[in-house]
């Protein structure tokens, strides 16, 4: 499997409303941190995740987190 593109070396913090989201795992989406279909034809798939109640979330942009889609500080090591 190929390596994801590091989009940024810091997370994006967003106020997310309840709903279903698709996190970009490849790093190529122009709509970061969300998927825009740029992964097609490659090894990556978007990660579907649910937000149950409105909350501020730090979403990973380095694409190396082990707690996807959330930032776990992996950007400090890549």
pLDDT in tens, 23-72: 999 999 999 999 999 999 889 999 999 999 999 999 999 999 999 999 99
Residue 1 pLDDT greater than 70, yes or no: no
On whether residue 6 sits in a domain, the answer given is no
C-alpha to C-alpha distances, 49 to 41, 42, 44, 78, nearest whole angstrom: 22, 21, 16, 24
Rounded-to-integer distance, Cα 36 and Cα 3, Å: 18
On whether residue 26 sits in a domain, the answer given is yes
pTM of the model: 0.94
Question: How many domains does the chain fold into?
Answer: 1
On whether residue 21 sits in a domain, the answer given is yes
On whether residue 1 sits in a domain, the answer given is no
For 42, the domain range is: 12-76
Residues 6-35, mean pLDDT to the nearest whole number? 98
Nearest to residue 50, comparing CAs of 26, 23, 25?
A: 23
On whether residue 47 sits in a domain, the answer given is yes
């Amino acid at each position: 499997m190929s390596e994801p593109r590091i989009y940024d070396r810091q997370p994006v913090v967003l106020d997310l409303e309840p709903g279903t989201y698709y996190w970009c795992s490849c790093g190529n989406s122009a709509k970061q941190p969300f998927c825009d279909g740029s992964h097609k034809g490659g090894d990556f798939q978007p990660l579907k995740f649910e937000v149950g109640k409105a909350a501020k979330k730090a979403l990973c942009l380095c694409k190396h987190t082990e707690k996807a889609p959330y930032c776990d500080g992996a950007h400090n090591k890549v």
